Structure 1
Amino acid sequence: METTLEERILAGLDDEQRTVASTLTGPLCVLAGAGTGKTRAITHRIAYGVHTGVYKPQQVLAVTFTARAAAEMRTRLRDLSASGVQARTFHAAALRQLQYFWPQAVGGPLPALVDHKAQLIAEASRRLRLSTDRAAIRDVAAEIEWAKVSMLTPERYTAAAAGRVEPAGMDHTTVARIFAGYEDLKLDRNVIDFEDVLLITVGILQEDEKVAATVRAQYRHFVVDEYQDVSPLQQRLLDLWLGDRRELCVVGDASQTIYSFTGATSRHLLDFTGRYEGAQVVRLVRDYRSTPQVVKLANNLLAARTAETGRQPGSSSWSTPLELIAQRDAGPEPSFTECSDDEAEAAEAARRIKALMDGGVLASEIAILYRTNGQSAAYEQALASAGIGYQLRGGERFFARREVRDALLQLRAGARTAGSDDVPQLVRDILASLGYTSVAPASSGAVREKWESLAALVALADELSASRAADGFTLQDFVAELEERAAAQHAPTVQGVTLASLHAAKGLEWDAVFLVGLSEGLMPISFADTPEAVDEERRLLYVGITRAREHLALSWSTARTPGGRASRKPTRFLDGLRPGVVGDRAFRTPKVKQSRKVSAPSTCRVCGKVLGSGSERKIGRCGDCPATYQEATFEALRAWRLDQARENDVPAFVVFTDATLVAIAEARPTTIEQLGALAGIGPSKLEKYGDSVLLILAESE
């Protein structure tokens, strides 16, 4: 007997997912742990509602937090024959409404949207005669964004920010003045920022009942993914979209709240049943992503925090976590590795990645995750030295690459004359003119990166052709899909190990994950100085652990540089979780050390003469050989050092000696790690002056 489409939509779902998919009305709260198939559940819910006639596709608005997640949701809904449903980010949905309603609600053309706040913040600072470098401007921009999503004006900011870390060392009153100046500049130049898109939309919906009624007539059913990450401003917009209705489904996991610094709060998720009386709650705890070994470690990490202190009274920082139940077959145990220094840790990760790849794991299914972006340089170098391709998440956007733009042009031209031939083969034939071959080039660098981009397009053609064969998938359809993905920045998979911060890894998964730099000061980060902040760091590590499907490696180093003092300790979060470690700080994990030769006498890099004095060894050349630095660079560093000395009322040599300045000017480091490797620059000076020195070097190029 032939099954109906509705039956096929529900087929393959577990009991809890089926409950979600078949509960089509009333407030519904889905508490979904990592890897439990939440996107599958909610897309099948929408599709089931459409095909049973409960929903009209155009009256459903599904909201998530990234363009990539929204694009993935649209793709899944299309594959479930539920096209027409709007799946957007909060900002994209609000911007579309604002563009439509602005002429009638406000009048005139919509102001231009500024992509970056930096230029306006810098100008506002100059008008106040405040000295700000790029790092300070970034911090102030983030603080202004927090204030705006918290619905604070410059006048209300100072009081509300009490207790928050002062951005860039500025007191909150100064930040409020910059905030006010920034808003004035936007008004003068008739521009708005991304937060204004939400604020203005909220304002129009609050003030204009006609506009609000129109929006509520358009959208009758709402789904919000990643609900633990909503800000007060986004919640206010959602309330206005809903009006007095209750047709809302939210999906989230309080244990994955890692963006509180942007204004996100899990309070709305945790209080959902209190706000919507009679709301149904479904818990998704069957983990289909990770092996039992990975799931056990993730559960134990959260359980350790609960066992320590439980939930603090009056605090929403910690709630009882979902305990995941692994559904996959057993896999290898997570490994715990202690290394002698950062360089050794990176080399060990590269060695193990090479072994995984030799064993058949694809490079695109491997990730190295770290706490801060500044940690990536050592791993880039180690992978490059091992001949392993990699991609930086957050680097150049896939569809902005030259070879991808050229490929899209060629495919678009080919689609005009192509018939209903084999789409994957057509794509291969067309891309061959741009350098695509069935076998990857043996070289690394730009040639390999270009091939990987083209190979990603070929793989996508194979995938889409297989999933949409029944619909008569054509080359024209493939080009249309690429154009839609380019607009949403929904990139296909590129072959290469992924390097990403833990925050950037949210929502992604790999067969093998390397969690690196797990030492105190990095995990939890040194500025996490409150219980709430430390709780968030624990959740961040939980997110990292749950990205792994099968292989999970956790590592840390006891020193920053080779030969440095071994003063680091592994993160407190691993206490009691590592094999053989029962109590606090009990070491039983053998160190992985880099093999080193006995150091030879330092010699001049120019003439080879043995260096005698400390200043010569610091610079790396003898006094008789000519300097190799640019005079302008050295003078810029000296001028900066003088400013620092005056500001701190100390002699100039206390900041950096002349020999250290010469070493910096000649080495021209481009990363914090490279700068820290120079003699005369210890951890405290690196933390205090590192960003400023790198900025001077970059500006003197």
Structure 2
Amino acid sequence: MVDAAVRTNRPGLLDGLDPEQRAAAVAPRGPVCVLAGAGTGKTRTITHRIAHLIRSGHVSPGQVLAVTFTTRAAGEMRTRLRTLGVEGAQALTFHAAARRQLRYFWPRVIGDRPWDLLEGKLRLVGQAANKVGLGIEAEVLRDLASEIEWAKASLISPDDYPATAVRVQRDTPGTPQQVAEVYRAYEKVKNSAQVLDFDDLLLHTTAVLEEHGEVAREFRDRYRCFIVDEYQDVTPLQQRLLDAWLGGRDDLTVVGDANQTIYSFGGASPRPLLEFTRRFPEATVVRLERDYRSTPQVVELANKVIGAARNRPAGSRLRLIGQRSPGPEPRFAEFDDEPTEAAAVAARVRALLDAGVAASEIAILYRINAQSEAYEQALSEVGIPYLVRGGERFFDRREIRQAMSSLRVAAADPPPTELVTAVRAVLARVGLTDQPPSGGAAKERWDALLSLVEVAEELAATVEGADLPRYVAELEQRAAAQHPPTVEGVTLASLHAAKGLEWDAVFLVGLAEGTMPILHADGDDEAIEEERRLFYVGVTRAREHLWLSWALSRHPGGRRHRRRSRFLYGLLPEHHPAARVPRSQSGKNGPKPRCRVCGGPLLETMEIKLGRCGRCPSTLDEDLLDRLKEWRITRAKELKVPPFVVFTDATLIAIAEQQPADRGSLVSISGIGPSKVERFGAEVLAVINAERG
């Protein structure tokens, strides 16, 4: 029976919808495909469609099942339906819907108590890997778990896995046969423990509906109308469950954007979306291209990004049309190294905050979680709170905690070797190899460990006689300084974790070859195009302010051998310094730093910071250095941060040697960026002038 409260003649249900949104909302029952570009109001459209179907008497609220891919999206859909006066319609994730159904039908089909849900599968995967003699290191287990999830989502059995993995060229954590043996052993261990993983929820619910006719009839009598959001991300397993729900019926509305398919590694495919009209030739197709999220400047850039994609199928050729008032042009920036890039981003974030943009409306997005550390540190140094989404803080990661523990043990009896060599030797015991792994969790772990080596390199270059105990103390200080309060803050997130979200200001960072696109995607056209779509998703997260940046080297003084991402070519304004000629090698573009005394080239990090080569005499004013250190201690206490957060010892030495007379000469010292000058410049110059007086 139709809910009377919903069927009342509420005026204005379709008011405020644009013509395309209205066409989707009022389309008759039956197959409907909504091709919805980023920011085009798809959630608004499908919730109004549900409300219209109910008000028109086509279906009652309890007969509606809407599914999406995240609990956040499902919650937003339920909230909007309530606002429209719809109570009783189900809006859930695929897994939540399947779990409810399986619990309900389990006693009738199985007969005993429902099996418990396995929250995390690593322990059982470890038992399975141990049974077949494969490694049980954490990153191996994570990759094995991901591979099992891909196989189950793709409806691939352990017997079929080896041949399929070879055919589709999977990058497997072991031989395909070994992975299949772990997969098979995992299923046995799991079934013996009488527990289900998340993929089992879908598999068992599908099996119940396919194999038990009376159960299927009861379910299909209950649910008559189905809506699937983010349909471009459906897996073969989810599609099979959807088919079991439908049971040959066609009262189905799907909404998606093939340009935002970014989960192929997990089995997702846009094929069901792109082939929807082949399956349902009578389907109503509506294209939503009016972008209400982003300024025309951001929309134009997004269209350029996706317009360069190769072999785009017809169903993905959406061209966004900006509906907002004009805003600032996207900003592009190239930096010599990653710390400088991070400091510049932090300075720009501070400027946005000062201009009134809320911290929660700012996001820094990167390709992999290991990139977050530089931005956590840069934001901490200027006192900006942040939240890490979709990943732990750098120093909370398991591999970093393990490395720190090993380093502390080694520091108690330090070896008689130079610092960087000693650190590498310790980290080699916890997984740092000479060459990076090809990808996956192992590559992320390797990148995180390598960043610890870079801290050692920086310390060795800037602190004379730095040893392992001094290095461990430096790490402890950095870890202590990176614990901002859990209040409103700037979002740090990977591009994958940012899907479905939006902010007023977005910083897309680390846009260099090897990171965007990711190194292991190179040589695979399909993987490169998925990386392009991931970049497109990042661009379309921005409402107004968009910053795109990259660095030519990982660390200060390093060889500037990186190139900006191939996805940036054709996007930069003609007047941008990097627009015409890619800088591919260090030293071939722009002047090299020179000694301020003899004019010779500066090659080492500390030489660059001091502005003189090691052969020339020092001009250090030790009294000034003492005064600067006293000032730093006072300032650090006021800010409640370690002294290095204000300025490192090496930077103070450089100031005491060069004795800059104004802000311009102060900012020319390596390691002092605009944000530091803005915050501390006047005070430092006052200390210098007092010394001169």
**TM-score between both structures, scaled by the size of structure 1:** 0.69
Gaps of 5+ in 1: 398-443, 453-494, 602-701
Specify the alignment match of 1:389 in structure 2: 385
- Contact kept, 8 Å, 1:24 with 1:45, in 2: the verdict is no
- Contact kept, 8 Å, 2:380 with 2:484, in 1: the verdict is no
Letter in 2 for 1:349: V
Compared CA separation, residues 4 and 83, structure 1 to 2 (3 A): closer
Compared CA separation, residues 173 and 446, structure 1 to 2 (3 A): closer
- Contact kept, 8 Å, 1:16 with 1:283, in 2: the verdict is yes
Specify the alignment match of 2:250 in structure 1: 246
Deviation at 1:577, TM superposition (A): 1.1
- Contact kept, 8 Å, 1:365 with 1:510, in 2: the verdict is yes
**Distance (whole Å) between structure 2 residues aligned to residue 118 and residue 372 of structure 1:** 21
The secondary structure found in structure 2 opposite 1:184 is helix
Greater alpha carbon shift after TM alignment, 274-283 vs 120-129 = 120-129
**Distance (whole Å) between structure 2 residues aligned to residue 249 and residue 212 of structure 1:** 21
1:476-525 superposed Cα distances (whole Å, 9 cap, x missing partner): xxxxxxxxxxxxxxxxxxx2100000000000000000000000000000
Letter in 1 for 2:371: Q
Specify the alignment match of 2:376 in structure 1: 380
Letter in 2 for 1:509: E
Deviation at 1:167, TM superposition (A): 4.6
Specify the alignment match of 1:541 in structure 2: 535
**Distance (whole Å) between structure 2 residues aligned to residue 154 and residue 40 of structure 1:** 42
Q: Does 1:362 find its partner at 2:345?
A: no
The secondary structure found in structure 2 opposite 1:215 is helix
- Contact kept, 8 Å, 2:75 with 2:91, in 1: the verdict is yes
Q: Does 1:517 find its partner at 2:514?
A: no
Specify the alignment match of 1:30 in structure 2: 34
For residue 560 of structure 1, the aligned residue among 554, 561, 568 is 554
Deviation at 1:598, TM superposition (A): 3.9
**Distance (whole Å) between structure 2 residues aligned to residue 589 and residue 543 of structure 1:** 32
The secondary structure found in structure 1 opposite 2:12 is helix
Specify the alignment match of 1:43 in structure 2: 47
Matches within 5 A, 1:6-21: 6-21=10-25
- Contact kept, 8 Å, 1:337 with 1:590, in 2: the verdict is no
Deviation at 1:6, TM superposition (A): 4.2
Compared CA separation, residues 53 and 320, structure 1 to 2 (3 A): closer
The secondary structure found in structure 2 opposite 1:305 is coil
**Distance (whole Å) between structure 1 residues aligned to residue 583 and residue 20 of structure 2:** 41
1:192-246 superposed Cα distances (whole Å, 9 cap, x missing partner): 1110110011111110000001110110000000000000010000011111211
- Contact kept, 8 Å, 2:345 with 2:507, in 1: the verdict is yes
1:585-626 superposed Cα distances (whole Å, 9 cap, x missing partner): 3799999x999444898xxxxxxxxxxxxxxxxxxxxxxxxx
**Distance (whole Å) between structure 2 residues aligned to residue 384 and residue 240 of structure 1:** 51
1:250-287 superposed Cα distances (whole Å, 9 cap, x missing partner): 00000000000010000000000000121010000000
Specify the alignment match of 1:585 in structure 2: 582
For residue 142 of structure 2, the aligned residue among 127, 138, 141 is 138
- Contact kept, 8 Å, 2:376 with 2:482, in 1: the verdict is no
Q: Does 1:153 find its partner at 2:146?
A: no
- Contact kept, 8 Å, 2:508 with 2:538, in 1: the verdict is yes
The secondary structure found in structure 1 opposite 2:105 is helix
1:439-489 superposed Cα distances (whole Å, 9 cap, x missing partner): xxxxx987842xx3xxxxxxxxxxxxxxxxxxxxxxxxxxxxxxxxxxxxx
- Contact kept, 8 Å, 1:336 with 1:589, in 2: the verdict is no
Letter in 2 for 1:77: L
**Distance (whole Å) between structure 2 residues aligned to residue 520 and residue 220 of structure 1:** 49
- Contact kept, 8 Å, 1:575 with 1:584, in 2: the verdict is no
Compared CA separation, residues 5 and 344, structure 1 to 2 (3 A): farther
Letter in 1 for 2:509: V
For residue 186 of structure 1, the aligned residue among 190, 197, 203 is 190
Percent identical across equivalent pairs? 55
For residue 498 of structure 1, the aligned residue among 462, 467, 491 is 491
Deviation at 1:5, TM superposition (A): 4.9
For residue 501 of structure 2, the aligned residue among 505, 508, 517 is 508
- Contact kept, 8 Å, 1:6 with 1:48, in 2: the verdict is no
Specify the alignment match of 2:323 in structure 1: 327
The secondary structure found in structure 2 opposite 1:564 is coil
Matches within 5 A, 1:10-409: 10-164=14-168, 166-167=170-171, 169-306=173-310, 310-311=311-312, 320-394=316-390
1:67-87 superposed Cα distances (whole Å, 9 cap, x missing partner): 110011001111111011100
**Distance (whole Å) between structure 2 residues aligned to residue 134 and residue 54 of structure 1:** 52
Greater alpha carbon shift after TM alignment, 259-268 vs 111-120 = 111-120
Compared CA separation, residues 123 and 50, structure 1 to 2 (3 A): same
- Contact kept, 8 Å, 1:136 with 1:167, in 2: the verdict is no
Specify the alignment match of 1:669 in structure 2: none
**Distance (whole Å) between structure 2 residues aligned to residue 596 and residue 37 of structure 1:** 51
**Distance (whole Å) between structure 1 residues aligned to residue 123 and residue 63 of structure 2:** 40
Matches within 5 A, 1:562-641: 562-580=556-574, 585=582, 596-598=609-611
Deviation at 1:168, TM superposition (A): 5.6
- Contact kept, 8 Å, 1:32 with 1:252, in 2: the verdict is yes
**Distance (whole Å) between structure 2 residues aligned to residue 100 and residue 448 of structure 1:** 43
Greater alpha carbon shift after TM alignment, 546-555 vs 575-584 = 575-584
The secondary structure found in structure 2 opposite 1:10 is coil
**Distance (whole Å) between structure 2 residues aligned to residue 120 and residue 94 of structure 1:** 23
Gaps of 5+ in 2: 1-6, 394-480, 594-604, 615-693
- Contact kept, 8 Å, 1:517 with 1:557, in 2: the verdict is yes
**Distance (whole Å) between structure 2 residues aligned to residue 181 and residue 198 of structure 1:** 20
- Contact kept, 8 Å, 1:340 with 1:562, in 2: the verdict is yes
Compared CA separation, residues 51 and 590, structure 1 to 2 (3 A): farther
**Distance (whole Å) between structure 2 residues aligned to residue 499 and residue 447 of structure 1:** 13
Compared CA separation, residues 589 and 35, structure 1 to 2 (3 A): farther
- Contact kept, 8 Å, 2:377 with 2:482, in 1: the verdict is no
Count of residues in Structure 1 that have an aligned counterpart in Structure 2: 502
**Distance (whole Å) between structure 1 residues aligned to residue 222 and residue 12 of structure 2:** 29
CA RMSD, aligned part only?
Answer: 2.6
- Contact kept, 8 Å, 1:524 with 1:571, in 2: the verdict is yes
Compared CA separation, residues 237 and 596, structure 1 to 2 (3 A): same
Deviation at 1:319, TM superposition (A): 5.8
- Contact kept, 8 Å, 1:393 with 1:504, in 2: the verdict is yes
- Contact kept, 8 Å, 1:6 with 1:52, in 2: the verdict is no
Deviation at 1:7, TM superposition (A): 3.4
Deviation at 1:394, TM superposition (A): 2.3
**Distance (whole Å) between structure 2 residues aligned to residue 564 and residue 320 of structure 1:** 41
**Distance (whole Å) between structure 1 residues aligned to residue 367 and residue 493 of structure 2:** 9
- Contact kept, 8 Å, 2:147 with 2:172, in 1: the verdict is no
Letter in 2 for 1:343: P
Letter in 2 for 1:572: R
1:320-359 superposed Cα distances (whole Å, 9 cap, x missing partner): 4200000001111101100111111110100000001101
Compared CA separation, residues 165 and 355, structure 1 to 2 (3 A): farther
Letter in 2 for 1:549: R
